[in-house]
Structure 1
């Protein structure tokens, strides 16, 4: 029996987060390599594999598809590596993988990865149904529409989570620090990949949020900064929070905007210990004070940029420790359209430090307030008098933060809680039922989100640092 010849298209991935509706990745192309056909019989180490295949074909009570056995054997070898970023994709999974590389997609809009047998959210995409539903970095997806997905690969999970616009998927979430699992119903939608958002803050400071590194991100970032300058910006905050990464060439181009020409952006270390350095190709010096903000959802390409500006340009980082994704993958297509992706290198910071599983600690560690970590409340739940649950406790905390007095925050929906709910509903022109469900639940969480944005201490610290540089 022969393994089919396949082309190894050298694609260096700095980020491969198969998402609930999108696959984002960083890549650079090299030469094509053709792997010669080999006889399994002629390789001693493959004799047991061949014998097992032959025994199944001859003696198993039912008919077995050859391709199913081959797919299973390859998948088993890859899983035996124990690396969440190495993966085998069947023809169908590979097709979905490449279809996801587009300007838009249909799904919930959340980057995921397989970690220790769990499917974990890296970050929701800005403006996506996943973000609106309150999904967060490090949430583990336990079930999809009632089906347990623990032990699945990220590819398998994606096929369950993705779906057509307008359809609903129910996710069961396990969140760090919360004992009860959370059920979330999310309506899938078309998610356009818009990556750059900007606004002027007080004090002639411009803030630019980069949500991922897609094909035109560098070009868009330059235009947004130019627009902010025209509006009078004297300093820039680059917000990389909840940015799970993306295309490596874009990360290099964006880092080169701020890192002086010839300085190191990152190093790539291979199996034999050799290292390659990527240098900045800056053509025009950046002439404004700048601070970069990161958090636990900043991963891969975001971490490349963050490490580069910190170590090679002396630009301060503010926020929380980054995600810690520092490996690179090479992917190759078999002739039948299936795909094998394996980790072939590690990327290091300019000084040679590995951030894999460690992340990057900012120069100024600033956490969001505790209320920013309150768990999502499912709008379909009916919270009313005499209900006792963790969801009621979360809702009481939210009302308290928003200036309403629910009485003792103990998870019991009592008369004080009802009075606070009615007061909130009255202020926001909602039906005064004293019951938290549907529009009332959404309104409470939206007001909390607005408060987090308005009182953002991480941006506040960045503004303080910019003003110091502007003096």
Structure 2
């Protein structure tokens, strides 16, 4: 996977770009869908006289990769000279990208889009790493004694961690000033990138002065807490670069090892919009047994010899036991649990039948190939569908919880009860009502097939991994 670039499935991080660019192109410029009478263009329908080289490259990108190319990709000439150029220029979009924006706007999902070079700079890197923060990088114990400031947690690889501050240290001075109140503490802690804050800490009855250089650091994506003596591991997103060298996967493994004496654990994926697919698949496989099928990915790939789009299906199958296969897990999910989060749930519960508590998930069973073009524009193209071990997909319908509970606190209580019992076997499956998240404003009503069955035509192309 990722042969053509980063496989990006993060709804939260996509939202602003989608809204500001794709939706604006569809709505603000009065673009309407191409007529259904247009014929699908063969690759050789494109020639050097049709648009700019960048347009031609992007037409080929869609021709080879877009999963619904046969439905929505028209003849190249259908996209040339169709937009209000003045309106596009008013939006600050360079003239030589207008036809490309229009072409991408005609595809039938918001995750297939184009970002011209002036807007694409550094965007891809934000997808690969967790949110960054600029401060010292520690948290105080919320139960500290009044007028005592005890460090509860130090973020890995944060300035405080690098400088040597540890959990349990009591901060007695900042820049030589005693923090007599939380207000004074906060004011003394304000700094910009490159500043040095000198903390005096008390450790084992000994005072020590530690200078901390303030630099940006990546926030962790996984949190561990305990509720009624049950470990709760909350995963906020799936990314390659976090405070841990191995990304979200490394953080997850760390907390699973930290709780290895427990026989049951709750995995909280509520409001997790997804991220890097390689991370969530690898994390899922930790919980499965040898021979279990984690997930299948149906991908569109270029057949450049025959000048056509081809497909392949890869199933991820455990070659050995996951190190946490014997632990009982309960999943928490809601309507904002999407993409990679849904992959993790579907991978595990289709094999282990662990329960899911909360509400029906978002239903994003498609994936994107994202990459830079030769002009350094950024492209995202829906090129994949997710299928479970049975060849079925939750796309557009979501994963149904075994216990439908909308209230977060009550859902957690139910998850705790199930975790203690450790005997519930999942019976729910995928939804039957379209979640409505995938229709596009200027297109005909939502027509992308939702419930996908693994077709016999792909059976000869199955390649097994893990």
TM-score (norm 2): 0.52
- Which sections of structure 2, spanning at least 5 residues, go unmatched? 19-43, 57-73, 135-191, 193-215, 241-246, 301-309, 425-466
User: For each residue in 1:293-321, what CA deviation from the matched residue of structure 2 results, as whole angstroms up to 9, or x when unmatched?
Assistant: 11111110000011111111222111111
Aligned length: 277
Instruction: State the 1:9 CA deviation.
Output: 3.3
C-alpha distance in 1 between matches for 2:271 and 2:7: 23
Is 1:263 the equivalent of 2:292?
yes
User: For each residue in 1:130-157, what CA deviation from the matched residue of structure 2 results, as whole angstroms up to 9, or x when unmatched?
Assistant: xxxxxxxxxxxxxxxxxxxxxxxxxxxx
C-alpha distance in 2 between matches for 1:258 and 1:85: 30
Match of 2:6 in 1: 11
Instruction: State the 1:340 CA deviation.
Output: 2.2
1:252 to 261, 281, 286: 281
Is 1:468 the equivalent of 2:416?
no
C-alpha distance in 2 between matches for 1:301 and 1:45: 34
- Are the equivalent residues in 1 in contact too, given 2:11–2:273 (CA < 8 A)? no
Match of 1:40 in 2: 49
- Are the equivalent residues in 2 in contact too, given 1:200–1:233 (CA < 8 A)? no
- Are the equivalent residues in 2 in contact too, given 1:9–1:333 (CA < 8 A)? no
Match of 2:313 in 1: 275
Match of 1:97 in 2: 123
User: Matched residue of 2:257: which SS?
Assistant: helix
- Which sections of structure 1, spanning at least 5 residues, go unmatched? 1-7, 24-34, 108-164, 166-189, 369-451
C-alpha distance in 1 between matches for 2:114 and 2:378: 6
Is 1:327 the equivalent of 2:336?
no
Is 1:351 the equivalent of 2:393?
no
- Are the equivalent residues in 2 in contact too, given 1:257–1:284 (CA < 8 A)? yes
2:97 to 55, 68, 71: 71
Match of 2:272 in 1: 243
- Are the equivalent residues in 1 in contact too, given 2:8–2:369 (CA < 8 A)? yes
- Are the equivalent residues in 1 in contact too, given 2:263–2:327 (CA < 8 A)? yes
Matches within 5 A, 1:256-405: 256-270=285-299, 274-281=312-319, 282-368=321-407
User: Matched residue of 2:121: which SS?
Assistant: helix
Matches within 5 A, 1:68-147: 68-100=94-126, 101-105=128-132
- Are the equivalent residues in 1 in contact too, given 2:287–2:323 (CA < 8 A)? no
The 3 A distance-change label for structure 1 pair 48 and 288 is: closer
- Are the equivalent residues in 2 in contact too, given 1:200–1:207 (CA < 8 A)? yes
C-alpha distance in 2 between matches for 1:200 and 1:288: 16
Instruction: State the 1:209 CA deviation.
Output: 0.8
C-alpha distance in 1 between matches for 2:16 and 2:101: 22
Match of 1:121 in 2: none
Match of 1:31 in 2: none
> Pairwise CA RMSD of aligned residues?
3.9
C-alpha distance in 1 between matches for 2:395 and 2:78: 36
- Are the equivalent residues in 2 in contact too, given 1:206–1:234 (CA < 8 A)? no
Instruction: State the 1:191 CA deviation.
Output: 9.0
C-alpha distance in 1 between matches for 2:76 and 2:422: 63
Match of 2:437 in 1: none
Match of 2:225 in 1: 199
User: Matched residue of 2:400: which SS?
Assistant: coil
The 3 A distance-change label for structure 1 pair 70 and 319 is: same
Match of 1:212 in 2: 237
User: For each residue in 1:249-289, what CA deviation from the matched residue of structure 2 results, as whole angstroms up to 9, or x when unmatched?
Assistant: 11011101112123111112245665321223544243322
C-alpha distance in 2 between matches for 1:89 and 1:106: 26
User: For each residue in 1:420-452, what CA deviation from the matched residue of structure 2 results, as whole angstroms up to 9, or x when unmatched?
Assistant: xxxxxxxxxxxxxxxxxxxxxxxxxxxxxxxx6
- Are the equivalent residues in 1 in contact too, given 2:368–2:383 (CA < 8 A)? yes
TM-score (norm 1): 0.51
- Are the equivalent residues in 2 in contact too, given 1:300–1:324 (CA < 8 A)? yes
The 3 A distance-change label for structure 1 pair 363 and 273 is: farther
C-alpha distance in 2 between matches for 1:222 and 1:12: 22
- Are the equivalent residues in 2 in contact too, given 1:267–1:276 (CA < 8 A)? yes
User: Matched residue of 1:337: which SS?
Assistant: coil
Instruction: State the 1:240 CA deviation.
Output: 0.9
User: Matched residue of 2:259: which SS?
Assistant: helix
Instruction: State the 1:222 CA deviation.
Output: 1.7
C-alpha distance in 1 between matches for 2:17 and 2:50: 40
